[in-house]
Chain A
């Protein structure tokens, strides 16, 4: 196990380095004008611009720049934003925004997992009955209706019905409820439908039929065998989902005025803020890669049949 973890860890590091390198080099191909605010660019002479770029270090050999970037990244120096929040250290921006996205994200993952699992179990246990059909209706509705529509309706009507605040206020706990619930709606649907599917699949397998034939109680079979096996493919995604909560949600943060990370990358790209794009892509890549790494380990812990140390890794179940 330890050997496997170490090997996967180094693989993850190499993957991250490749992603960072490719991203970094691609950004070097972007026009140099992106390193200026519009006013700066207009007001600077060609000599000024060259001096400014040299000062930033973007005229150096790209490999030298990459090493310098990695060194800065490791020490927490992510540079300064250029156009989104001119001259503000990126670490300051992230320090302000990440806690909001993280908090709402974690609550939403928790709600999604608890409610999604309960719903999925309920649907599988009542396959083709009313409960299952209602659950399916919910899943289809959440998936099929553009999220902006129901999120906006929730904001308008539910806040009115329960006299809740329309937007998020840090010092008013009542205003935290709806964004957290809204954020978990699609997660609940996702966990519910996949858990139902895996549980129904398991129920149709021979060993379950054999267990039923043996006369084992249904509850026991469902809990010990069906649910446990059905959970395996789902837990793999849990670490990624938890880690990537810091990326925030573009729509929900926007409609509830939550000053989180949602939309920051899109905005940075639209504003052509190279240093901010660079920092965000790096962070998200690292979290993504390590999420997969942790997911693999978690899956191995949950399902002992997965032999990590063997040259031929077998996975009984894949998502």
Chain B
């Protein structure tokens, strides 16, 4: 009896999985659990995916990356691109977590209230800094609230300041028309609109559930996007179902998206191979492991993304030896030429690591001037873009020896540095002697890939500079690099990745100025700050880009940071037909599954390549090339 029961259960499971693969159900995995579903707090990839698919913006990107209407059916702008007016679709209803239309209609007020929520410092919206100066009066309004909250401004009440929101450049013209007035001409304004900061919110619903509860559960949200959240089990799964009342339902082909949390990428691959998933990302070890299997022919590579990884050098280092060296340009040049990035990247992509290389801060093929010229092709910057792998051990050693000559007394003693203990607990703790070898603290996470990466750096520096000159100390963080390492300045070298928030070089360069949000190393160069300020005053794109490119080339030349890798360009395998869904270098619409098509079987890599060729041919036609 027992035996028969077991056979029955096995048979049942076989049946379940035989029918699991359909073309209207997309099954994927995720590793980071969203802390909240409040779509104004997108701090991880999972919550970005959920928000992008369950909430719509005024505009979105199509599969070629063009801005197309979404909740706004059309828009206009004035001649100098300072006033942007959006005309909303009528009759679009918010739906609940059962997919049923609510009594609330999506109106201009929802975008107004959403922005009011974002512009209140009490709500602690993380990316607000990116848009602080975007709209007329916004920076003053925000500062006004900060001053009242801090007690600096005792003459006004908080409510009085809140009442001045009408002075901010956002205005409801009528129920279906909203207007934004930017502080300066902003032809790239649409690229801002796909950021999480521009989602709508139905204030009556938020008031009903309480602002504090908004997004803490699926029934504490309503949805304006092509999907709604039908299930959210913390640390287990998120299920999105197609919004049958969606204004553009005919272009949403997948009826259900199941996101399953797994603890290990190895499990995801196994699940895919057994038909439990529609697609899976692959790491280097998995790619190697699949080389002699039938799956080899199915592995393809995704496109490069606009995310850029760079090394931050800590100019505020608490390690006196590194602090003395990092301020020296020759030493920084030695680092620039001393890192074999292709070798490092081969840990991620053993077959074609050079595909991952990116040596500029602003990504290529993302922003173009009025003549269609790529920003990264501007004079000065183009040389860095085309530099490829800058590894040159001979040059690195020459620069290092120059730095040594300038910073030591000729007997290996580093000037002004005494022997002492460097206490950076819990990340690292070591002793320095104020002599060569120079000790450099490189930080990595506890993941095996990061650890391998750091160990390779350690070995590389030993080879290039010699153990008598440089000794790499490795430090680890457990959870959050920013909290544990960057904010308390417990590193000499660390790398991080940064997404390109909106379509202007200011999105990255503006955050790298003195005290900027992504200036992790705390360096300061008044010349760079001045160039960024000067560029930001220019309206004509070619003038603007020329100065930004000069500023970017300058900091690359002075080696304050070392960009080395792009995001994306990862190995994958799956049933997804590429280039059927939105494509964009900014915001969250690139995470949308609207338009995505699935096939019943995994796609061969050769077929993906064919689709890719066709896509780029179509794109070139569209761009008139």
In the assembled complex, which residues on chain B have CB atoms less than 8 Å from the CB atom of A77? none
Q: Binary interface profile of B, 115-152, with partner A (CB < 8 Å = 1, else 0)?
A: 00000011010100000000000000000001001110
Q: A166-B267, A254-B263 are in contact. Are A87 and B150 (CB under 8 A)?
A: no
CA distance A89 to B234 in the complex (A): 13
In the assembled complex, which residues on chain A have CB atoms less than 8 Å from the CB atom of B122? 43, 48
In the complex, the answer to whether A163 meets B216 with C-beta atoms within 8 Å is no
In the complex, the answer to whether A164 meets B13 with C-beta atoms within 8 Å is yes
In the complex, the answer to whether A85 meets B10 with C-beta atoms within 8 Å is no
CA distance A170 to B232 in the complex (A): 13
In the complex, the answer to whether A255 meets B267 with C-beta atoms within 8 Å is yes
In the complex, the answer to whether A255 meets B263 with C-beta atoms within 8 Å is yes
Assign chain B's interface to a size class: 35 or more
In the assembled complex, which residues on chain A have CB atoms less than 8 Å from the CB atom of B150? 45-48
Across the interface, B10 reaches (CB within 8 A) one of A40, A160, A163, A271, namely A163
In the assembled complex, which residues on chain B have CB atoms less than 8 Å from the CB atom of A162? 10, 13
B422 within 8 A of A: no
In the assembled complex, which residues on chain B have CB atoms less than 8 Å from the CB atom of A271? 479
CA distance A48 to B264 in the complex (A): 40
Interface residues of B in 311-362 (CB under 8 A from A): none
Q: How far is the CB of A240 from chain B (nearest CB, A)?
A: 25
Assign chain A's interface to a size class: 35 or more
A183 within 8 A of B: no
A86 within 8 A of B: yes
B162 within 8 A of A: no
A172 within 8 A of B: yes
In the assembled complex, which residues on chain A have CB atoms less than 8 Å from the CB atom of B212? 87
Across the interface, B216 reaches (CB within 8 A) one of A39, A45, A85, A166, namely A85
Q: How far is the CB of B125 from chain A (nearest CB, A)?
A: 8
A259 within 8 A of B: yes
Interface residues of A in 93-135 (CB under 8 A from B): 93, 96-97
A155 within 8 A of B: yes
In the complex, the answer to whether B263 meets A166 with C-beta atoms within 8 Å is no
Q: Binary interface profile of B, 245-270, with partner A (CB < 8 Å = 1, else 0)?
A: 00000000000000011111001001
Residue of chain B at shortest CB distance from A162: B10
In the assembled complex, which residues on chain A have CB atoms less than 8 Å from the CB atom of B13? 162-165, 172, 174-175
In the assembled complex, which residues on chain A have CB atoms less than 8 Å from the CB atom of B217? 88, 92
Q: A162-B13, A167-B260 are in contact. Are A85 and B234 (CB under 8 A)?
A: yes
In the complex, the answer to whether A259 meets B146 with C-beta atoms within 8 Å is no
In the complex, the answer to whether B121 meets A257 with C-beta atoms within 8 Å is no
Q: How far is the CB of B20 from chain A (nearest CB, A)?
A: 9
B541 within 8 A of A: no
CA distance A255 to B261 in the complex (A): 10
In the complex, the answer to whether A84 meets B12 with C-beta atoms within 8 Å is no
Residue of chain A at shortest CB distance from B33: A85
In the complex, the answer to whether A84 meets B35 with C-beta atoms within 8 Å is yes
Across the interface, A85 reaches (CB within 8 A) one of B35, B236, B264, namely B35
Across the interface, B9 reaches (CB within 8 A) one of A39, A88, A177, namely A177
CA distance A224 to B604 in the complex (A): 68
Q: Binary interface profile of A, 52-83, with partner B (CB < 8 Å = 1, else 0)?
A: 00000000000000000000000000000001
Q: A92-B217, A155-B267 are in contact. Are A165 and B146 (CB under 8 A)?
A: no
Interface residues of A in 233-260 (CB under 8 A from B): 254-255, 257-259
In the assembled complex, which residues on chain B have CB atoms less than 8 Å from the CB atom of A175? 13
B36 within 8 A of A: yes
Residue of chain A at shortest CB distance from B478: A270
Across the interface, A257 reaches (CB within 8 A) one of B10, B216, B236, namely B236
In the assembled complex, which residues on chain B have CB atoms less than 8 Å from the CB atom of A305? none
Q: Binary interface profile of B, 472-488, with partner A (CB < 8 Å = 1, else 0)?
A: 00000011101100000
Task: Find the residue from B13, B36, B480 having the highest chain A CB count within 10 A.
Answer: B13
In the complex, the answer to whether B10 meets A166 with C-beta atoms within 8 Å is no
Residue of chain B at shortest CB distance from A258: B236
Residue of chain A at shortest CB distance from B9: A174
Interface residues of B in 171-218 (CB under 8 A from A): 212-213, 216-217
In the complex, the answer to whether A259 meets B10 with C-beta atoms within 8 Å is no
Residue of chain B at shortest CB distance from A100: B236
Residue of chain A at shortest CB distance from B236: A259
A25 within 8 A of B: no
Q: How far is the CB of B230 from chain A (nearest CB, A)?
A: 13
A31 within 8 A of B: no
Residue of chain B at shortest CB distance from A40: B124
Q: A39-B124, A85-B35, A164-B10 are in contact. Are A47 and B233 (CB under 8 A)?
A: no
B374 within 8 A of A: no
A38 within 8 A of B: yes
CA distance A157 to B424 in the complex (A): 44
In the complex, the answer to whether B149 meets A48 with C-beta atoms within 8 Å is yes
Q: A96-B234, A257-B262 are in contact. Are A86 and B270 (CB under 8 A)?
A: no
Q: How far is the CB of B249 from chain A (nearest CB, A)?
A: 26
Q: How far is the CB of A153 from chain B (nearest CB, A)?
A: 12
In the assembled complex, which residues on chain B have CB atoms less than 8 Å from the CB atom of A47? 149-151
In the assembled complex, which residues on chain B have CB atoms less than 8 Å from the CB atom of A156? 270
CA distance A87 to B215 in the complex (A): 9
In the complex, the answer to whether A39 meets B236 with C-beta atoms within 8 Å is no
CA distance A118 to B370 in the complex (A): 81
Q: A85-B234, A174-B10, A255-B263 are in contact. Are A43 and B17 (CB under 8 A)?
A: no
22 A–B pairs (Cβ distance < 8 Å), ordered by A: A39-B126, A48-B150, A83-B35, A85-B234, A86-B36, A86-B41, A87-B36, A87-B213, A87-B216, A89-B216, A165-B17, A166-B270, A174-B9, A174-B12, A174-B16, A257-B236, A257-B261, A257-B262, A257-B263, A258-B236, A259-B235, A259-B236
* For the complex of A and B, 3 pairs with smallest distance between CB atoms: A259-B236, A174-B13, A45-B150
Given contacts A84-B35, A86-B35, A166-B271, 12 further A-B contacts (CB under 8 A): A43-B121, A87-B212, A87-B216, A92-B217, A162-B13, A165-B17, A166-B267, A173-B9, A255-B267, A257-B262, A258-B236, A259-B233
